[in-house]
Structure 1
């Protein structure tokens, strides 16, 4: 299949597919006319790349994981894992955990600020009502 067909099959733009090839994440066979030729394995590979990108991994990290995965497949003929893959997953999990902690701290600060603003609004509304009552009483006594 050509790049447009791979694009349709995966939902990934031809430009991204060319980028994956440039980053050595994907290797296309070349026809005599220099067109790229892809097969069913490439569909799975592009989908795998997309999963890793969604996890926030860089193309460099993805390349290391894919190399490791390819080596295992070539050696054992099965999907397996290697220490580098496990380490990359653990590192990414730790990074995400840190981001979650940071976001939770930001959320707590926002919650505190929201509560302060609500309290100020109640205070302003009470003071505003008291001022209005004083004005009304003042105008009534003048008459």
Structure 2
């Protein structure tokens, strides 16, 4: 199928599909006219790429998973590499959450101080 068909079926832009190909996540044959030709398996592959991106994995991490012949996150019982990547990502997310909580605390403090100063200003 052409890239436009894959884009329409997968609901992913042709630009993203080209990017996935450039990053080594997706392969296409080239026709005589140099158009890309994707196998029907590319539909599922694009869906997996999208899922992994939503989980916050980088294209490098996804490529490593694909090279390790890991398919869909639901299609395996246990994979040490997947567990490590998921744990690393969760740790990163936990760090971001902690940083956001600290930022929230600081903003609330500054708002409180600003309101106090505003109320202390004589009219």
Higher relative contact order (CA 8 A, sep 6+): 2
Gaps of 5+ in 2: none
Structure 1: 4+ residue segments shifted above 6 A: none
Provide the C-alpha distance between the structure 1 equivalents of 2:66 and 2:70, rounded to a whole number of angstroms: 10
Decide which structure has the larger Cα Rg and report it.
1
Return the match for 2:75 from 75, 79, 83.
79
Give the TM-score normalised by structure 2.
Answer: 0.84
Give the corresponding residue for 1:56. 56
Give me the CA root mean square deviation.
2.0
Q: Which has the higher helix share?
A: 1
Shift of 1:60: 0.6
Give the TM-score normalised by structure 1.
Answer: 0.73
Paired residue total: 120
Gaps of 5+ in 1: 129-143
